[in-house]
Chain A
Amino acid sequence: MGVVNFIIENILTQASITIALIAMLGLCLQKKSAGQVVSGTLKTLLGFQVLSAGSSIIVGSLTYFGEIFTAGFNMQGIIPSIEAINGQAMNELGLGRDIALTFLGIFIVNILIARFTKWKYIFLTGQAILWMATMTTVFGYFAGLRGFMLIIVGSIVGAIFAVAMPAIAQPIIRKITGSNDIALGHFCTIGYMFEAGIAYVFGERGENKKSIEDINLPKSFEFLQDTYLSVMVVMVPLYIITAAFAGPGVGDHGAQHYLMFAFLQAIQFVVGVYVLLSGVRLLLGEIVPAFRGIAMKLVPNAIPALDCPVFFPYSPNAVILGFITTTIGSIIAMFLLPTFGLAMILPGMLTNFFAGGTAGIFGNAVGGRRGAIIGGIAHGFFITLLPALLVTIFNQMGFVNATATDVDTVAAALLYAWILSPILKMF
């Protein structure tokens, strides 16, 4: 009995072990060789530890940024980063094991829905499922769910999103690609449908639809190809300007000049994102191929829901237009939301590019050029407003200066906070 207790109390409570065991399960079910199972399991374990290390680096830098922002502008400035939320939830809040099991649960329930209903979508973007599992776990925990219930409810809610989001986007995806072969698997879909709706109301229709003229992104924007460079290009000026407003003596800069310190802290944030995402890649590198193989076999007529860049070739100009208009919208929201008593949400370039770009395709498909422009600006506003609504809860739970990005995960969180939590509190 002592041994069993030891295993339960000391080993299975470790998130890294739980997630490694999930990978092992997947690899065994795929009948991989013993060597592949061992190496895959260890890689996953390593991935989790790398992710944790990245998270502590990010938290250190964000804590400093919170201090200088409050000192400089007298309000809270929040960085939208789902990576930072995931890292903090997995480590600092100790929800890693529950997130890992919910991740597995979402996958299983998704397969069940696809197998037994007419909705044949299998959501294949591993990172997005991890973000969804993070948000359902964090907000389930906030609503008072614990243990088994936390995981089950999260798996069901997450899986419903994993099927419903590709399904509601599919009529437009069919229009864009001209076929029903593939679907969109990216948890920013509510934003895309929002842009499509705005584009429908304000855009051009039928004969009057104007196509988007050839737009090319200036060469200087090629930095966007590199995730880390694009984070750096935004973070460095953001930290330095904020530090300049805060003045010397804020933050722990010691003998170093405070602006130099701010510069290095900005770089430190990028280092954290770099390490964390390398961890995520290691973590998912074994699990995702194993489970998508299983899913495809169990649901042979599945429609794979794939990550958004797959759809860029159908309308590359709309992607660029979407990126630009979404960025404009998010900057407007940044200045406008604080006047309504909400926190200031700084623009996230990565979300603006991927979510904004894909939203541009939707806006253009529904409402032509005018639809894509008006819809894009509205989209930028929308995807800044939703995360702003979560800030108070994140603060209460002890998250440091960050909020989530992908709006479907935010919508799931609001579902917990506004509907599930009040219901649970009645009993």
Chain B
Amino acid sequence: MMFGFFKKKNKPEKTEEKVELSMKEKESLTKENQQTIVKIAEAEQTDSAEASELASLYENLGLNYAKLEQVDSAIESLEKSLEHKLTIGDGYKKLMSLYNGKRAEAARNANDEGIEKYMGKMDEMRQIAKKVTISR
């Protein structure tokens, strides 16, 4: 170690633990998602729907999909959330990590287009972070 103060004091290397969901939890998340989808549909019907409200509904939906490991649906919902309103909360962070996962997958499969696509998306995320940090 270069600097003493980073020495890990007998702490085991933190491994990223995958939380295995029980069937029950999965069911309740799926149920919650169905309700959210209904709410989104209702909100989109009324013209007066607040963009920030829709954004947060989509964000919750996306985060739940991510917990259920339905990656593509999660990405779709989280992208929609950002379309409605740019934020840098949990949804943003999750989307970034999902993109990076997709990028890694594309790299393992030697898929040039995939790498380019997701690196490009990560570039866009960087722009969003810069913009939102300054004008909150």
Nearest CB in chain A: distance from B130 CB, A: 4
**Partner-contacting stretch, out of B41-49, B71-79, B106-114:** B106-114
Question: Chain B residues near A289 (CB, 8 Å)?
Answer: 116, 119-120
Residue on B nearest A177 in the bound complex, by CB:
B93
Question: Chain B residues near A224 (CB, 8 Å)?
Answer: 134
A152, B62: Cα distance in complex, Å:
48
**B100 close to A181 (CB less than 8 A):** yes
Nearest CB in chain A: distance from B107 CB, A: 4
Decide yes or no: A300 and B129 within 8 Å by CB, A30-B112, A293-B112, A306-B122 being known contacts: no
Nearest CB in chain B: distance from A222 CB, A: 5
By secondary structure, the B interface counts as helix
Cβ of B40 < 8 Å from any Cβ of A? Answer: no
**A225 close to B93 (CB less than 8 A):** no
Count the B residues whose beta carbon is within 8 Å of the partner chain — how many? 37
Decide yes or no: A296 and B103 within 8 Å by CB, A30-B112, A310-B96, A357-B133 being known contacts: yes
**A225 close to B135 (CB less than 8 A):** yes
Residue on B nearest A172 in the bound complex, by CB:
B6
Decide yes or no: A309 and B107 within 8 Å by CB, A197-B5, A292-B119 being known contacts: no
Question: Chain A residues near B136 (CB, 8 Å)?
Answer: 216-217, 316
**B126 close to A309 (CB less than 8 A):** yes
Within 8 A of B (CB), among A301-322: 301-302, 304, 306-307, 309-314, 316, 319-320
Cβ of A239 < 8 Å from any Cβ of B? Answer: no
**B130 close to A309 (CB less than 8 A):** yes
Cβ of A374 < 8 Å from any Cβ of B? Answer: no
Residue on A nearest B110 in the bound complex, by CB:
A297
Contact mask B20-45 → A, CB, 8 Å, 1/0? 00000000000000000000000000
Question: Chain B residues near A313 (CB, 8 Å)?
Answer: 88-89, 92-93, 129, 132-133
**A182 close to B133 (CB less than 8 A):** no
Cβ of A168 < 8 Å from any Cβ of B? Answer: yes
Decide yes or no: A297 and B112 within 8 Å by CB, A197-B3, A197-B5, A217-B136 being known contacts: yes
- The 10 A-B residue pairs with the shortest CB-CB distance in the complex, in nearest-first order: A313-B88, A309-B130, A296-B107, A312-B133, A309-B129, A300-B107, A312-B129, A300-B108, A296-B115, A171-B6
A-B contact list, 8 entries, CB within 8 Å: A30-B112, A174-B14, A182-B96, A182-B100, A300-B107, A304-B122, A309-B130, A319-B133
Interface residues, chain A, with chain B CB atoms under 8 Å away: 30-31, 124, 168, 171, 174, 177, 179-182, 193, 197, 200, 216-217, 219, 221-222, 224-225, 289, 292-293, 296-297, 299-302, 304, 306-307, 309-314, 316, 319-320, 357
